[in-house]
């Protein structure tokens, strides 16, 4: 039993990773995402009917920021492969490589988007030759990287001149709480302007930086909450898990950034 002198030890990076991978593969979550293999908050508009549709809209927004007809695209933190499959379908003549640090989701991604290159790689150790890609895409994951700044430097190196880094990313406020476990302190940024500075410091020019929190996180949270409440009411979800999801939804999200940065 927890006593006053017992300490709550911080979870290690690999434990956080395992918990993440478990969440992603939970049938409940797979069902919420409608079998789309996405695992992100998506981009919602009036009439967006499902999470899978919102996740597709987010990809449409990012695709529009890619350079024209990229021949070589890297999908960093591909998760279950929904993003990779989308890129492969929309860019049929491109060679797509996808990486993730988690073996479980990566195996699902291989199945979801066969014919593309997959590797278990940490986003902060992108051991690709310089100028290997025309575009690097990363959907809703850079806040996890230890550190985001190191990833941005490595992405810059791996891109060709004129190539683009296109991503969506979450910026948390001081009340980050539970999400702190999966977000290194080094990734805290005080403002969207400081966030842009991170990319400029690595050598990038900012092509676009928008805060879409009102169309993403702020619509996703009530959607996820009502899904979980319905599952709980139907007796399909244990109270503890429902509580855990609810806790995650209280994260202090300051900005949801959509960014396109160009290597000069």
* Interacting residue ranges for ligand SAM, rule: CB under 6 A: 20, 38-40, 77-79, 82-83, 100-102, 105, 122-124, 139-141, 144-145
Residues contacting 154, CB < 8 A, separation 6+: 123, 124, 125, 126
* Cβ 103 to ligand SAM shortest distance, Å: 9
* Cβ 126 to ligand SAM shortest distance, Å: 9
Q: Of 48 and 83, which CB lies nearer to ligand SAM in the complex structure?
A: 83
- Which segments of the chain does DSSP mark as H helices, in order? 13-25, 27-32, 51-63, 82-90, 103-112, 148-158, 192-201, 217-233, 239-248
* Cβ 62 to ligand SAM shortest distance, Å: 10
CA distances from 150 to 144, 146, 194, 209, 238 (A): 12, 7, 16, 19, 39
**Sign of the dihedral defined by the CA atoms of residues 106, 66, 154, 172, in that order:** negative
Q: Of 102 and 199, which CB lies nearer to ligand SAM in the complex structure?
A: 102
Alpha-carbon gap, residue 110 to 173, rounded angstroms: 35
Choose among 81, 144, 35: nearest CA to 98.
81
Show contacts of 188-192: CB within 8 Å, 24+ apart: 192/255, 192/257
* Cβ 222 to ligand SAM shortest distance, Å: 19
Question: Which tokens sit at 110?
Answer: 């291989």
Q: Of 205 and 247, which CB lies nearer to ligand SAM in the complex structure?
A: 247
Count of beta carbons in the 10 Å neighbourhood of residue 92? 7
Q: Of 134 and 140, which CB lies nearer to ligand SAM in the complex structure?
A: 140
Nearest residue relative to ligand SAM (C-beta): 79
* Cβ 33 to ligand SAM shortest distance, Å: 8
Question: Which tokens sit at 249?
Answer: 């939804």
* Cβ 232 to ligand SAM shortest distance, Å: 23
Query: From the centroid of its chain, how far is CA 111?
Result: 19
For the chain, the distance separating the N- and C-terminal CA atoms, rounded to the nearest angstrom, is 58
Burial of 100 (0-12, 13-18, 19+ CB in 10 A): buried
Q: Of 125 and 233, which CB lies nearer to ligand SAM in the complex structure?
A: 125
* Cβ 5 to ligand SAM shortest distance, Å: 34
């Amino acid at each position: 039993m927890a006593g006053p002198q017992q300490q709550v030890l911080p979870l290690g990076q690999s434990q956080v990773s395992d918990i993440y991978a478990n969440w992603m593969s939970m049938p409940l979550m797979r069902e919420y995402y409608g079998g789309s293999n996405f695992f992100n908050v998506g981009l919602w508009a009036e009439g967006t009917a499902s999470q899978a549709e919102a996740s597709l809209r987010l990809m449409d927004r990012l695709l529009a920021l890619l350079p024209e007809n990229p021949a070589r695209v890297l999908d960093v933190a591909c998760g279950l492969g929904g993003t990779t499959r989308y890129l492969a379908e929309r860019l049929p003549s491109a060679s797509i490589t996808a990486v993730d640090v988690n073996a479980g989701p990566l195996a699902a991604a291989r199945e979801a988007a066969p014919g593309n290159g997959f590797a278990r790689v940490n986003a902060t150790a992108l051991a690709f030759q310089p100028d290997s890609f025309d575009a690097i895409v990363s959907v809703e994951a850079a806040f996890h990287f230890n550190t985001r700044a190191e990833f941005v430097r490595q992405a810059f190196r791996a891109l060709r001149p004129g190539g683009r880094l296109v991503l969506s990313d979450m910026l948390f406020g001081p009340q980050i709480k539970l999400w702190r476990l999966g977000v290194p302190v080094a990734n805290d940024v005080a403002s969207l302007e400081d966030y842009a500075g991170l990319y400029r410091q690595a050598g990038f020019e900012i092509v676009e930086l928008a805060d879409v929190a009102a169309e993403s996180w702020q619509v996703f949270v009530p959607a996820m909450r009502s899904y979980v409440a319905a599952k709980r009411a139907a007796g399909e979800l244990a109270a503890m898990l429902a509580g855990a999801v609810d806790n995650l939804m209280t994260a202090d999200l300051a900005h949801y950034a959509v960014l396109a940065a160009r290597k000069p």
